[in-house]
């Protein structure tokens, strides 16, 4: 297939490119800069200049392709609600470009969108339109497209990691360096699901190849890693003390991260594995944190 890939120069997108090319696909990669275009050309990708702020331009890129994978997202969490609404507009535009064609669109969301009740792991068959997380905007956009007959599916991401980046753990490292201590909330038993980058990009490829309308997939290798285990690994790597802080002190210590850091976000990928034959095999989050290049 000829695949239009947003976020092509980002953490997930840049790793997805060789996965797609090795499987015989051609890639048109979105970038907002000439430097990004040069990097994409070097990777064997046809560059396409555009921005998330101009969804009409992205629609023209999508129209050139047999399928679309949308991994781009503005990760300025100080403007999280606004950026989630921007993602809604981008998804709508990408879907409109594929209307009437049956060509698949794979979008991105978070595993938290599949959270159930009473602390059970999030699952693929849960979709709560009243979810309080603003990221639900992406899946609400997906629902509109499905009603319009668009072939859209979603990959829900946990903390995606390798030894260089680890999702929300990466800004936790910055906070720890600033504060001189690695903190976790209360007893640190809250959990974050995780997925190794190599497994995540393989799942995106399988999802676009399957082209199953309305499917929800979880890129989860580990159902839940505790906040305390994460903090203790960071303490080892950074050579900093590790301590518990009270929930009421989280905002002062973590800043914008406080909206996430105490959340219990376990997630299952059992249905994804059964549906796509996808079986995560990459290193664990703690293994990658223990190998992290803290001084690189």
Residuewise pLDDT in 10s, the chain (296 residues)? 999 999 999 999 999 999 999 999 999 999 999 999 999 999 999 999 999 999 999 999 999 999 999 999 998 988 999 999 999 999 999 999 999 999 999 999 999 999 877 778 999 999 888 788 899 999 999 999 999 999 999 999 999 999 999 999 999 999 999 999 999 999 999 999 999 999 999 999 999 999 999 999 999 999 999 999 999 999 999 999 999 999 999 999 999 999 899 899 999 999 999 999 999 999 999 999 999 877 65
Residue 15 phi/psi, 5° resolution?
Answer: -80, -25
Residues near 196 by beta carbon (within 8 Å), at least 6 away in sequence? 160, 161, 162, 221, 280, 281, 282, 283, 284, 288
Domains, the chain: 2-159+194-222 (3.40.50.720), 162-192+224-266+283-291 (no CATH)
What pLDDT was estimated at residue 128? Answer: 84
Q: Which residue from 56, 43, 53, 61 is spatially nearest to 82, judged by alpha carbons?
A: 53
What pLDDT was estimated at residue 205? Answer: 98
Q: Quote the Cα angle for 149-84-37, to 5°.
A: 85
Beta bridge partners of 109: 156
What pLDDT was estimated at residue 295? Answer: 66
Say if strands 191-196 and 222-226 run parallel, antiparallel, or are unpaired. Answer: antiparallel
What pLDDT was estimated at residue 116? Answer: 73
What pLDDT was estimated at residue 119? Answer: 75
Q: Which residue from 263, 110, 257 is spatially nearest to 174, judged by alpha carbons?
A: 257
What pLDDT was estimated at residue 79? Answer: 92
What pLDDT was estimated at residue 296? Answer: 55
Distance separating alpha carbons of residues 51 and 213, to the nearest angstrom: 26
What pLDDT was estimated at residue 204? Answer: 98
């Amino acid at each position: 297939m000829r695949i239009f890939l947003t976020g092509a120069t980002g953490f997930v997108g840049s790793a997805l490119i060789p996965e797609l090319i090795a499987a015989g696909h051609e890639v048109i990669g979105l970038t907002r800069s000439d430097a990004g275009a040069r990097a994409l050309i070097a990777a064997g990708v046809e560059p396409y200049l555009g921005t998330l702020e101009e969804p009409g331009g992205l629609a023209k890129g999508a129209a050139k392709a047999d399928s679309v994978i949308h991994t781009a997202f503005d990760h300025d969490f100080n403007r999280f609600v606004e950026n989630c609404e921007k993602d809604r507009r981008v998804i709508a535009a990408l879907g409109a470009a594929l209307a009437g064609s049956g060509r698949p669109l794979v979008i991105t969301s978070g595993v938290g969108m599949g959270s159930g009740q009473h602390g059970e792991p999030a699952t693929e068959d849960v979709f709560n339109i009243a979810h309080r997380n603003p990221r639900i905007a992406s899946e609400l956009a997906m629902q509109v497209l499905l009603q319009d007959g668009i072939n859209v599916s979603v990959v829900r991401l946990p903390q995606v990691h390798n030894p260089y980046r680890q999702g929300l753990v990466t800004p936790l490292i910055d906070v720890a360096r600033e504060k001189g201590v690695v903190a976790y909330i209360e007893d640190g038993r809250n959990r974050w699901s995780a997925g190794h980058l190599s497994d995540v990009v393989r799942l995106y490829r399988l999802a676009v190849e399957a082209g199953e309308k309305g499917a929800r997939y979880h890129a989860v290798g580990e159902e839940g890693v505790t906040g305390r285990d994460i903090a203790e690994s960071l303490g080892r790597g950074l050579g900093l003390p590790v301590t518990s802080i009270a929930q009421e002190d989280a905002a002062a210590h973590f800043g914008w991260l406080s909206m996430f850091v105490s959340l219990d976000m376990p997630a299952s990928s059992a249905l994804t594995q059964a549906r796509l034959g996808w079986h995560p095999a990459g290193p664990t989050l703690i293994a990658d944190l223990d190998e992290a290049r803290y001084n690189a």
